[in-house]
């Protein structure tokens, strides 16, 4: 066998000097923007020693960093190892998947710190960052990794960087609309990360449609060892997803609940994935691609509702359904998307993030609409949905409506943004 390395990187669609120039100039821009705008948040600043004595803080606030940090590291692993290795199942793009994912994520987190910070951590002309910003930046980049799955093997690293630039920006805007204007809950990002990321990527790949792209087994097929590498990605995503969905929830019961719900949903999802994978294959064999991907759909689909009182059996039901939907999608929907709609979805993100993301948004809306003071307790009810200030009078059913609106806004942003970026990328190819 010929040495297959570097193929993912060998594309001659970029000229020798373009990638270096883009990387260097953009990084210089980051330094300047960080220099002007970004400072340590109060709890990471050396002045904290005095401030905390003056403010007479309880140790809880002091400990916030320690309660968030392990989750941050788990999310970090999901973005770089999880998404990176998940995409190695294609034998031709193995190194490209990991390497380009590394590049876009490393750039993306810097840009996300600026964009999200601008909306959420801007004080007195400065963006103040702490561990929560790092988690949110990883989340934001997660949606770019999702979109990357649709266009893997089609684009040059420069095109990826351009996509990252735009997508992170739009992500921050969309997140601001959902969380701040619509006052929607979406701690695990079913809408903001998965729905947005998936339909954004699918729109881009639609615009970049190449009729003669080899979708043959030879190029897109997987080999034995690629499958094991991909399973590393799968398992790290699967194992750490409880951290993902609980990472930015309120301390205490909300975070605890989010972890349990996600754990349950993922466990159920594995069984229905295996069931349908075996059922829909000719010889009853299991398909590696389903096991690598559809087993994760349960985590996507409780992204919005995990921190709510979904209950363990509710989570099992969601995971049960999503394993089926996702596997069926891989078998029947993906080929149709390509042949009829000319959407070449390399990694099948529509099945892993698109549909489960939508389900997650809907489950979140229903769970919110069904919330009662009886189930949450008086204090818990207010805290869970943050019904304070100008939202004091919002009822669960209204909240459910706004949650549903959040799905549509995310979809709209994804289609519009994806079309824009796709056109941009298309122009770059000429």
Site for its own copies in 377-416 (CB under 8 A): 377-381, 383-384
How many angstroms separate the CA atoms of 390 and 186, rounded? 19
Alpha-carbon distances, residue 139 vs 79, 95, 132, 191, 342 (angstroms): 8, 23, 11, 12, 29
Least distance (Å) between residue 12 CB and its own copies = 8
**Pattern of binders to its own copies over 339-378, x per CB under 8 A?**
------------------------------------xxxx
- Which residue, 156 or 195, has its beta carbon nearer to its own copies? 156
Any contact of residue 313 with its own copies (CB under 8 A)? yes
Residue 308: CB atoms within 10 A of its CB come to 27
- Which residue, 34 or 415, has its beta carbon nearer to its own copies? 34
- Which residue, 270 or 428, has its beta carbon nearer to its own copies? 270
**Are the CB atoms for 364 and 305 separated by under 8 Å?**
yes
Q: Is 58 helix (H, G, I), strand (E, B) or coil?
A: coil
Longest dimension (CA), the chain: 70
Q: Name residues contacting its own copies, limited to 281-300 (CB under 8 A).
A: 283-286, 288, 291, 295
**Are the CB atoms for 100 and 157 separated by under 8 Å?**
yes
State the Cα angle at 104 between 69 and 347, rounded to 5°.
100
- Which residue, 297 or 337, has its beta carbon nearer to its own copies? 297
How many angstroms separate the CA atoms of 352 and 194, rounded? 9
- Which residue, 243 or 344, has its beta carbon nearer to its own copies? 243
Least distance (Å) between residue 142 CB and its own copies = 14
User: What DSSP assignment string belongs to 297-329?
Assistant: HHHHHTTTTTTTT--HHHHHHHHHHHHHHHHHI
- Cα-atom radius of gyration of the chain, to the nearest Å? 21
How many angstroms separate the CA atoms of 125 and 43, rounded? 18
Nearest to 69 by CA among 131, 137, 128: 131
Total residues contacting its own copies by CB under 8 A comes to: 132
Least distance (Å) between residue 119 CB and its own copies = 18
How many angstroms separate the CA atoms of 34 and 37, rounded? 5
- Which residue, 235 or 419, has its beta carbon nearer to its own copies? 235
How many angstroms separate the CA atoms of 322 and 329, rounded? 10
**Pattern of binders to its own copies over 227-266, x per CB under 8 A?**
xxx-xx--xx-xxx-xx--------xxxxxx-xx--xx-x
- Which residue, 202 or 264, has its beta carbon nearer to its own copies? 264
Nearest to 409 by CA among 203, 246, 171: 171
**Pattern of binders to its own copies over 131-170, x per CB under 8 A?**
x--x----------------------x-------------
- Which residue, 196 or 263, has its beta carbon nearer to its own copies? 263
- E strand or H helix at 172, and its extent? helix 157-176
Q: Name residues contacting its own copies, limited to 198-227 (CB under 8 A).
A: 222-225, 227
Least distance (Å) between residue 224 CB and its own copies = 4
- Which of 124-132, 332-340, 410-418, 420-428 is the region at the interface with its own copies (rule: CB under 8 A)? 124-132
Give the residues across from 106 on adjacent strands: none
Least distance (Å) between residue 125 CB and its own copies = 15
- Which residue, 50 or 214, has its beta carbon nearer to its own copies? 50
How many angstroms separate the CA atoms of 319 and 269, rounded? 4
Least distance (Å) between residue 137 CB and its own copies = 9
**Are the CB atoms for 344 and 209 separated by under 8 Å?**
yes
How many angstroms separate the CA atoms of 112 and 188, rounded? 17
- Which residue, 267 or 420, has its beta carbon nearer to its own copies? 267
- Which residue, 205 or 265, has its beta carbon nearer to its own copies? 265
Q: Name residues contacting its own copies, limited to 58-117 (CB under 8 A).
A: 58-60, 62-63, 65-67, 69-71, 73-74, 76-77, 80-81, 84-85, 88, 94-95, 98-99, 102-103, 106-107, 109-110, 113
- E strand or H helix at 128, and its extent? strand 126-129
Q: Name residues contacting its own copies, limited to 2-61 (CB under 8 A).
A: 3-6, 9-10, 14-17, 19-21, 23-24, 26-28, 30-31, 34-35, 38-40, 43-53, 58-60
Give the residues across from 38 on adjacent strands: 127
Least distance (Å) between residue 379 CB and its own copies = 4
Least distance (Å) between residue 202 CB and its own copies = 27
């Amino acid at each position: 066998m010929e040495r297959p390395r570097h193929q993912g990187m060998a594309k001659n669609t970029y000229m020798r000097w373009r990638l270096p120039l883009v990387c260097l100039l953009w990084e210089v821009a980051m330094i300047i923007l960080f220099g002007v705008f970004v400072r340590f948040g109060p709890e990471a600043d050396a002045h904290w020693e005095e401030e905390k004595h003056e403010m007479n803080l309880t140790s809880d606030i002091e400990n916030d960093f320690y309660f968030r940090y392990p989750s941050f590291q788990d999310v970090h692993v999901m973005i770089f190892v999880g998404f990176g290795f998940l995409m190695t199942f294609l034998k031709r793009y193995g190194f490209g998947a990991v390497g380009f994912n590394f590049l876009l994520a490393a750039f993306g987190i810097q840009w996300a710190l600026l964009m999200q910070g601008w909306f959420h951590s801007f004080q007195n002309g400065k963006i103040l960052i702490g561990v929560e910003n790092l988690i949110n930046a990883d989340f934001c980049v997660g949606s770019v990794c999702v979109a990357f799955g649709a266009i893997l093997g089609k684009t040059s690293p420069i095109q990826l960087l351009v996509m990252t630039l735009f997508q992170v920006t739009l992500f921050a805007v969309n997140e601001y609309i959902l969380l701040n204007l619509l006052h929607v809950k979406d701690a695990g990002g079913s809408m903001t990360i998965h729905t947005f990321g998936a339909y954004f990527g699918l729109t881009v790949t639609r615009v970049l449609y190449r009729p003669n792209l080899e979708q043959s087994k030879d190029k897109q097929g997987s080999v034995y060892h690629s499958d094991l590498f991909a399973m590393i990605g799968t398992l790290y995503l699967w194992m750490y997803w409880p951290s993902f969905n609980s990472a930015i929830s309120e301390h205490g019961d909300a975070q605890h609940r989010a972890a349990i719900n996600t754990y349950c949903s993922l466990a159920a999802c594995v069984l229905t994935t295996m069931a349908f994978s075996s059922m829909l294959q000719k010889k009853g064999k299991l398909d590696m691609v389903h096991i690598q991907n559809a087993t994760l759909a349960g985590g996507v689909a409780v992204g919005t509702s995990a921190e709510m009182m979904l209950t363990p059996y509710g989570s099992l039901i969601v995971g049960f359904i999503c394993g089926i939907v996702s596997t069926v999608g891989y078998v029947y929907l993906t080929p149709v998307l390509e042949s009829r709609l000319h959407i070449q979805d390399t990694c099948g993100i529509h099945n892993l993030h698109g549909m489960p993301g939508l389900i997650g948004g809907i489950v979140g809306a229903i769970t919110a609409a069904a919330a009662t003071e009886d189930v949450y307790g008086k204090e818990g009810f207010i805290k869970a949905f943050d019904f304070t200030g100008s939202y004091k009078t919002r009822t669960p059913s209204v909240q459910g409506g706004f949650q549903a609106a959040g799905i549509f806004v995310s979809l709209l942003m994804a289609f519009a943004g994806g079309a824009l970026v796709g056109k941009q990328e298309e122009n770059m190819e000429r």
